[in-house]
Structure 1
């Protein structure tokens, strides 16, 4: 595609400063916004640049929407919340009380350096619907064990994490890593990522706070 000198200059500005508004491009070229309309149309139709409402123009040379790139650059470690743990010798009633008092939807069983499993509101509700006395049900009977636990690595991107939440139909993921300790595989907990964290990230990006 053959570009004019001004179209090349617009492309350079967008590549180096995008996302950028049409008004900002016009200011840099010392022309009016309407004077650029034809050049921008050519660059858009040729897929040299692209535009996103409220975001502006961005360069397509990299092939990725800047909003998507921003989300993908956010890691679990940067967005995670404090995890709440319950002792391995607790019962289902203890877990239900802790969920209520902490106002969360998921608990982790064990210690931070040795998580044994995860318990959600769904797990406790399922047990309660069986008309069981939760105070007599060991936490190990309602939790998802460590071997079946879905988790996120600290450096895992938020797009991957959101996909896991959807694919496995869960509300929260533990953030951490597995490690071998004297021949035993243990999970070391760093934090948690829930749908609330995803929503908070979306809100911050929308308000331009990241």
Structure 2
């Protein structure tokens, strides 16, 4: 919630000033700013900047809905690939399913990692045989992933995405034999759609 804290202390503040303070580029935080505006945490005025939004005031309907809304009610179907699939398989899946990342599981359907276009690009540059390399050699491993439970709130999902600068989270539940089973994914788009629906019902 660094962005909200910055806006609280320095409002009005421009997107460029927020990015500079955080040490990132403006495009990097564009989606985070959009989510925060949709959540009502911050608001924006053209040519003025960002300032504190109404959702941080008590008893706001949108804020209440976010606290009560569960990830399970808004999550999307997980787009999964096995860890023994190749880089070429991953590239095809990304384009066919039109997603920003793939969830990687092992032969027992346990979460073992995620792979994004950025992961693939970094690995393939300078590797002539990259297309046939198993995706497990390229993926971001589970120990580095941020996940969420289906029983967590949409607000918590938004916080984790913003805090870790990611656009989606695997939705998981514990397996009886150990590890985590993937049952869905929650994205910034899912949350934005929920906010639009909630606001429309007010």
| Shorter-chain TM-score range | 0.5 to 0.7
Partner Cα distance (1:129, 1:198) in 2: 34
Q: Which residue of 2 aligns with 1:98?
A: 93
Q: Which residue of 2 aligns with 1:87?
A: 82
Query: Aligned pair 1:172/2:165, yes or no?
Result: no
Per-residue deviation, 1:178: 2.7
Q: Which residue of 1 aligns with 2:70?
A: 75
Higher relative contact order (CA 8 A, sep 6+): 2
Q: Which residue of 1 aligns with 2:113?
A: 117
Structure 1, unpaired ranges of 5+: 1-61
Deviations along 1:109-142, whole A, 9 cap, x unmatched? 1268412211122212222345554313220111
Partner Cα distance (1:178, 1:125) in 2: 32
Change (3 A) 1:87 1:207: same
Q: Which residue of 2 aligns with 1:47?
A: none
Q: Give the alignment's TM-score, normalised by structure 1.
A: 0.63
Per-residue deviation, 1:186: 1.3
Any conservation in 2 of the 1:76–1:157 contact (CA below 8 Å)?
A: yes
How many positions carry a matched residue from both structures? 145
Structure 2, unpaired ranges of 5+: 1-56
Superposed counterparts of 1:31-50, under 5 Å: none
Per-residue deviation, 1:69: 0.5
* Most deviating of 146-155 and 133-142: 133-142
Any conservation in 2 of the 1:113–1:186 contact (CA below 8 Å)?
A: no
Instruction: Give every structure 1 segment of 4 or more consecutive aligned residues whose post-TM-superposition deviation is greater than 6 Å.
Output: none
Q: State the SS of the aligned residue for 2:190.
A: helix
Match among 66, 89, 114 for residue 61 of structure 2: 66
Q: State the SS of the aligned residue for 2:113.
A: strand
Change (3 A) 1:166 1:63: closer
Change (3 A) 1:180 1:145: farther
Q: Which residue of 1 aligns with 2:21?
A: none
Any conservation in 1 of the 2:66–2:155 contact (CA below 8 Å)?
A: yes
Partner Cα distance (2:78, 2:164) in 1: 20
Partner Cα distance (1:139, 1:82) in 2: 21
- Greater CA radius of gyration, 1 or 2? 1
